Structure 1
Amino acid sequence: MARADQTVIDFRIIIEQPVIGVLHSLQAKDELPLDPKYSREGEPLVFDFPVRVGPGPKFLGDQVRREGPERRFVYIRVGQLAGDPSSPWSRRMKIDIHDIENDLLDRAASTGGVIETRVGGTGMDGTPACATVRPTARRIAEH
């Protein structure tokens, strides 16, 4: 797909109620931790990144991963995978983006807004969330 057929849309993932002191980061294509951060007092963690969106819609970019012909998602690395060798956790959160409604994509593209996805950062067992994490909210936000 030609880049001329793609629109760059800014995405934001907000991890609410992360486990305090546990390092989180985006995962880039080279699999290195990107933008590592941790919560000092339970405050949310915010990750911003661009995604190229083409017709279909098709999602492309350094943080976009694929599984099968349709599923597209972003990984948030946790603990050791985020760059903290002393962490007892080595896991990833998988956050789907292929299911974002076309209306949100169109509004973000036309207004220059950010597609903001909120997810819970702590699992039911009190440890950092991992595996597929479903959004608790999704909306258009300002930069």
Structure 2
Amino acid sequence: MRTDHRANLQLILTLQSPPPGVDFAVQRGRDELVRPFLATADSVSFAITLTLGPALADDSPNFRGPFAQGTPADRFVYVNSGLSAGQTGTPWQRRAKIKLADIPIALVERAAGDPNAAIEACIEGTMKDGGPVCASVRAPQISWQVVMRSD
């Protein structure tokens, strides 16, 4: 990987078509919950920052920071919903695991260290049972793209 290993990487997690009436939060560390920066009936979006550490033995990115959960070889971000997001009076208690290794390396190289660039994950927010997204989220339920800030 050719990216500066001390670079910040901006990540936007956008849940599309989330179930109505369900709260979402991204988990920071063991138990801190971060609320969305944007929530509408159609989508819920979070903006977080990761740091890239020295590349792993297989030359893949080493995602670090308080939002990066798991071991260096298996990093992920938790998107919590319902009771897990601090909501009361709901039947839902779920966590979605967003695997950072699934981000295409070309997108990481393009966005890392650029304060005007972010990698956006577009995630289907509702499962087939009508509840909030949960478990390990993989394609086609998630897609990745670089987005640029427009001034």
TM-score by length of 1: 0.87
Aligned partner of 1:126: which letter? G
Question: Is 1:29–2:33 an aligned residue pair?
Answer: no
Residue by residue over 1:92-125, the C-alpha shift from the partner in whole angstroms, topping out at 9 and shown as x without a partner, is 0111112322211111026431011111111111
For 1:79 and 1:37, locate their aligned partners in 2 and report how far apart those are by CA, in whole Å. Answer: 17
Pair 1:55 & 2:50 matched: no
Q: 1:64 aligns with which of 68, 87, 90?
A: 68
For residue 125 of structure 2, what is the amino acid of its counterpart?
Answer: G
Aligned to 1:105, the other structure's residue is in SS state: helix
Q: Count the aligned residue pairs.
A: 138
The Cα RMSD (Å) is 2.1
Q: Measure the CA separation in 2 of the matches of 1:59 and 1:133.
A: 18
Is the contact made by 1:78 and 1:89 (CA closer than 8 Å) also made in structure 2?
yes
Is the 8 Å Cα contact of residues 37 and 46 (structure 2) preserved in structure 1? no
Q: For residue 7 of structure 2, what is the aligned residue in structure 1? A: 7
Counterpart of 1:142 (choices 123, 126, 148) is: 148
1:111–1:63 distance in 2 versus 1, CA, 3 Å = closer
Aligned-residue sequence identity (percent) comes to 30
Which of 76, 79, 84 is the aligned partner of 2:79?
Answer: 76
Give 2:110's aligned residue. Answer: 107
Secondary structure class of the residue paired with 2:75: strand
**Letter in structure 1 aligned against 2:147:** A
Provide the rounded CA distance (Å) in 1 between the counterparts of 2:37 and 2:10. Answer: 20
Letter of the 1:85 partner, please give it: T
Match of 1:12, as an amino acid?
I
What does residue 95 of structure 1 align with?
98
Aligned partners of 2:100 and 2:124: how far apart in 1?
16
Structure 2 match to 1:125 = 129
The answer on whether the counterparts of 1:20 and 1:38 sit within 8 Å (CA) in structure 2 is: no
Q: 1:37 to 1:19 in 2, by over 3 A?
A: farther
- Displacement of 1:132 after TM fit? 0.8
Deviations 1:121-142 (A, max 9, x none): 1111111121111253101002
Length-normalised TM-score, structure 2? 0.82
Preserved contact between residue 26 and residue 34 of structure 1 (Cα < 8 Å): yes
